[in-house]
Structure 1
Amino acid sequence: MGTLLATTACGTGAAETTGAGEVVTALYPLQWLTERVGGSDITVTNLTAPGVEPHDLELTPQQVAEIAGAQMAVYIKGVQPAVDEAIEQHATDRSFDAATAVKTLEAAHEEGHEGETEAEHAEHEHEVSYDPHIWLDPSRLATVATQLGDKLAAADPAHAQGFKDRAAKAAAELTALDAEMAKGLGTCTSKTLVTSHEAFGYLADRYQLKQVGITIDPESEPSPARLAEVAKLAKDEKVTTIFTETLVSPKVAEVLAGEVGAKTAVLDPLESGPEQGDYLSAMRANLQTLRTALGCS
């Protein structure tokens, strides 16, 4: 184990030191990457349990204490309001917002938030002007890997070379995945990606696809006007597949698919850990799903 020290808050409010640097990650893709880069020199605690929709995450007092006591908190501002708030209060000087490492895309916006509850208003105050789903572009995640290696190296100079070497290896794996996806999606007869909600903007941007989300927010129901608009577009562009997602009800996508004579297929936005495999294998499964649906040769 590494010598990078972290203090972990206890129930009594006291602090104790541990042998390995403790790094808290906000959601699965960051956990996967941090474990890859950190190796045995850190211990990683992920705040979002498998199968939990990360946007809805509510932190326990113990999780807030873990953030307060960690050597570093790795997150993406704008995904999880509860995490953003806890880091602002307890770990601003020991946090790494992965979105700051890459060029972000502008967020899609829904019309207003009239009639929302006080809690919903507070959540929208934490919204950011960019799309936070940066991990769905492997080339951007490769850049994050390099910067994460540098951050960990600065926090623990005794193990700096190991962090940087593992970061370079992770970045190379992600660059290879990016090349594989670019090749696999470069010969598709259709370029239109109709999805349950707009989580795949970075994937679409990287591989010259057009994302059309039925909704922007996975928690919201589309208006009849929006459904009609997407149905018309799907028919006009001869879309054969409407994509549903893990962790999101497929009902609306299934209704739309029935209306336009399309089938449905599942894309994994990797907001929570895959049931099998890891980030790389889940992205390769997404690639195969997309190649079948979009008629790629």
Structure 2
Amino acid sequence: MNIRRRLMSTGAVAGATALSLVTLSACTGTSGAAGKNGDGKLDVVASFYPMQYLAEQIGGEHVAVTMLTKPGVEPHDLDLRPRQVSELRQAGYILYLKGVQPAVDDAIAQAGVEHTVDAGTLTELEAHGTATGGEDHDHGHGDGGHGEHGDQDPHVWLDPVKYAEIARGVGKSLEKADPAHATAYAKNTDALVAKLNTLNTRFADGLKNTDTRTFITTHAAFGYLAERYGLEQQGIAGLDPESEPSPARIRELQTVAKQDKVTTVFFETLASDRTAKTLAGDTGLRTDVLDPLEGITDRSKGRDYLGVMEANLTALRKALGAQGQQ
């Protein structure tokens, strides 16, 4: 689905969602006083996997997490069903990232849940185009797709440092939503932040000395990661994983691959690898997976966020010709 079709369908989904909310409001109220389920756990709704991971890691045994985006579904294409809208209204806590899923944004805005957290407000979002990273912050190759994001790149969870900032904010907000378990949330937040700090160190050390600093990917989702570790991301298209590159962009990437000694074209698990394989075939490059972690499936190279990020590090080290021990 290209971005124009997605935006058209999003308008239809938003209208249907609004109608569902109006209908549900006649027969249901807002969340219960404590937003708890029958087991006394805080009912948490997470929009897609990076938000689910935070909620589960920080909430631990005191939360019951429902994810709106099922495994294998491309998050940007999510269509909400009436049952999911109802879950939103009944939640005690909602965690999402505004701009990733317009249909979700519309439903959340109308759900009226007191403890609703936009993860994008817990750190600083930045603008990234198809070419990103290093010290020059090159944003000159098109608009990057994802018109619903404006100039902001939403893929902030791929930077362990920024993800840790978000984790701290989520911990504080869960303490407010469920004060009875504030101590547990604070402890779990500290434990998760420590893991993310270790992951950051592994990336920094593992990518310190490489033969090239440039990598090519179909989905320009790795702008934050590239900037964090002094790499240069060259996206075939933009932030939208399904947008098609122009012939001029393909020619440009062929030149970049030769000049920067690029070895690999990366694709992702939730989108087609056709464009990556075509470019790789034309330039004599390898292909491999670099996972933007928008969802976990049985094809993911890891069971959770940390596992997939470790697999991403291994893939980058191989593609960039990293030197030294990992």
TM over 0.5: yes
Mapping for residues 9-88 of structure 1, pairs under 5 Å: 12-13=27-28, 18=37, 19-88=40-109
1:127 correspondence with 2:149 = yes
1:227 correspondence with 2:222 = no
Q: Which runs of 5+ in 2 are unaligned?
A: 1-23, 130-140
Q: 1:42 to 1:138 in 2, by over 3 A?
A: same
Q: 1:91 to 1:273 in 2, by over 3 A?
A: farther
**2 CA distance for matches of 1:233 and 1:91?**
49
Q: Which runs of 5+ in 1 are unaligned?
A: 1-8, 114-122
1:291 correspondence with 2:317 = yes
Q: 1:86 to 1:106 in 2, by over 3 A?
A: same
**How much has 1:86 moved relative to structure 2?**
0.9
Q: 1:92 to 1:155 in 2, by over 3 A?
A: closer
Contact 1:185/1:207 (CA < 8 Å) preserved in 2?
A: yes
Task: Give the number of aligned pairs.
Answer: 279
**2 CA distance for matches of 1:106 and 1:92?**
30
Q: Secondary structure at the match of 1:194?
A: strand
Instruction: Give the equivalent residue in structure 1 for 2:138.
Output: none
Q: Secondary structure at the match of 1:130?
A: coil
Q: Deviations over 1:261-281 (max 9, x none)?
A: 111111111001143411101
Instruction: Give the equivalent residue in structure 1 for 2:132.
Output: none
Task: Supply the AA of the counterpart residue of 1:145.
Answer: A
Q: Deviations over 1:197-234 (max 9, x none)?
A: 21111111111100110001212111111111111111
4+ long deviations beyond 3 Å? 9-12, 14-17, 109-113
**2 CA distance for matches of 1:112 and 1:279?**
25
Q: Secondary structure at the match of 2:266?
A: strand
1:268 correspondence with 2:295 = no
Structure 2 length-normalised TM: 0.81
**How much has 1:282 moved relative to structure 2?**
0.6
**2 CA distance for matches of 1:196 and 1:277?**
23
Sequence identity of aligned pairs in percent?
46
Q: CA RMSD in A?
A: 2.0
The structure with more strand, counted as a fraction of residues: 1
Task: Supply the AA of the counterpart residue of 1:256.
Answer: L
Contact 1:10/1:65 (CA < 8 Å) preserved in 2?
A: no
Structure 1 length-normalised TM: 0.89
Instruction: Give the equivalent residue in structure 2 for 1:248.
Output: 271
**2 CA distance for matches of 1:72 and 1:110?**
37
**1 CA distance for matches of 2:142 and 2:91?**
36
1:214 correspondence with 2:223 = no
Task: Supply the AA of the counterpart residue of 2:119.
Answer: A
